[in-house]
Amino acid sequence: MNSDLHENRSEQEVIGKLSTLDRYLPLWIVIAMALGLILGRVIPSLQNALDSVKIDGTSLLIAIGLFAMMYPVLARVKYEEMGHLTGDRKMLWLSLILNWVVGPLFMFALAWIFLADQPAFRTGLIVIGLARCIAMVLIWNDLACGDREAGALLVAINSIFQILAYALLGTFYLAILPGWLGLDTQDVAFSTWEITKAVLIFLGIPLALGFLTRQVGVAHKGHDWYDNKFAPRIAPIALWGLLFTIVVLFALQGDAITSDPLSVVIIAIPLIIYFAIMWFTAMGAAHAIGLPYARSATVAFTSAGNNFELAIAVSIGVWGVTSGQALTGVIGPLIEVPALVALVYVSLWLRRKWTWRNRS
């Protein structure tokens, strides 16, 4: 009885649990896009100003925005609590297969099916597919009553895998696999080192800083202060960083977008398909192998979401701030947020309807 009441209340209050910034994020993203387009039109010299100060070929302002997106999320991960969760080998293996085999391969297929004649957008979509979710997934997981500790573990694993394997997987999916399949890759120019460098700078450094911040903060102030005061205080910085980066990118992308507004639509279609099919596949597989609801939801959301922050950073670092690849990365969160909020409701509905092992 209490469990049913808790589930009903959870479903009714999903949106209520979100902060104003989180709740209306799609609206803020649209406003940020519009503001960027207006600034790009009103201030023609803006591009030169933004490019005047760079960090390894990336505008300083964009670099600041990218770091702001990454660091707060990685500082929230409870690294010290992950050891006991590694015993759930079924969950770990399922997550690894979905995140690092099924997800990238499925996005590769969607990119070539829907964007075969749009090489920049196609490449951007593949780059997104390789960037496994480490950020907003913590929000969706909490709203869906998922396992917080399992979510922290999978976020940490995805972060480490991206540092170690992202560049190699990028080379495989952008050059080697298309070559095996007889697909044309002459219009995709990149180097493995450029991808590696972008990942190390924009994921490796925030990961190291996030880990150190947590170790020092917990050691000096304790877990309660860090988790309930410090972490919630810095959490909004990630979303503000995303909105700031979108404003800057759209200021630079203005001409490309206004001359081809349908580009947003053709990028959105495969993304919507990806989120839905990956989530239902993950949830069904987790249920089939006997995982309890909380961990099934965690696997589903970590498998369906993507690390758009890293995808944007790689696209900017390798192909440039005005590239179609960067535009694809920026459009991603606009589609992901409403899609995964809808899937939170679906998840809570399944929690009531399905029979779960060790149901809590």
Q: Kindly report the CATH number assigned to the domain that includes residue 236.
A: 1.20.1530.20
The whole-number pLDDT of residue 3 equals 41
pLDDT band for 42, please (50, 70, 90 cuts).
confident
Question: How does pLDDT run across 99-110, given as a tens digit for each residue?
Answer: 999 999 999 999
The whole-number pLDDT of residue 141 equals 86
Domain presence at residue 149: yes
Residue 40, pLDDT above cutoff 90: no
Identify any residues that bridge with 234 across adjacent strands, giving them in sequence order.
none
Domain presence at residue 6: no
pLDDT band for 119, please (50, 70, 90 cuts).
very high
The type of residue at 337 is V
Domain presence at residue 11: no
Domain presence at residue 98: yes
What is the rounded CA–CA span in Å between residue 70 and residue 227? Answer: 17
Domain presence at residue 255: yes
Question: How does pLDDT run across 139-163, given as a tens digit for each residue?
Answer: 788 888 888 778 878 888 888 888 8
The whole-number pLDDT of residue 4 equals 41
Say if residues 231 and 75 touch (Cβ distance below 8 Å): yes
What is the rounded CA–CA span in Å between residue 336 and residue 342? Answer: 10
Helix (H/G/I), strand (E/B), else coil: 58: strand
φ and ψ of 55, to 5 deg:
-120, 105
**Contacts by 99-103, CB closer than 8 A, 24 or more apart:** 99/132, 99/154, 99/158, 99/161, 99/302, 99/303, 100/132, 100/161, 100/165, 100/169, 102/278, 102/281, 102/303, 103/129, 103/132, 103/278, 103/303
Domain presence at residue 139: yes
Helix axes 192-199, 308-319, angle to 10 degrees: 130
End-to-end CA distance of the chain: 12
Residue 118, pLDDT above cutoff 80: yes
252: CB partners within 8 A, 6+ apart: 36, 40, 46, 47, 50, 321, 322
Segment 191-209 mean pLDDT: 84
Q: Tell me how many domains the chain contains.
A: 1
Determine which of 61-65, 89-93, 226-230 has the lowest per-residue pLDDT on average.
61-65
- State pTM to two decimals: 0.81
The whole-number pLDDT of residue 8 equals 46
Share of the chain above pLDDT 90, in %: 31
Segment 66-78 mean pLDDT: 83
Domain presence at residue 13: no
Rg (CA), the chain: 20
The whole-number pLDDT of residue 109 equals 97
Quote the domain boundaries for residue 123: 39-353
pLDDT band for 247, please (50, 70, 90 cuts).
confident
Domain presence at residue 360: no
Share of the chain above pLDDT 70, in %: 84
Look at 294 and 20; give whichever has higher pLDDT: 294
What is the rounded CA–CA span in Å between residue 187 and residue 194? Answer: 17
Which residue reads 């910085």 in tokens?
Answer: 237
Determine which of 10-19, 152-161, 265-274, 295-304 has the lowest per-residue pLDDT on average.
10-19
Residue 255, pLDDT above cutoff 70: no
Helix axes 205-221, 148-171, angle to 10 degrees: 160
The whole-number pLDDT of residue 19 equals 66
The whole-number pLDDT of residue 280 equals 97
Segment 125-148 mean pLDDT: 85
The whole-number pLDDT of residue 142 equals 80
The whole-number pLDDT of residue 187 equals 62
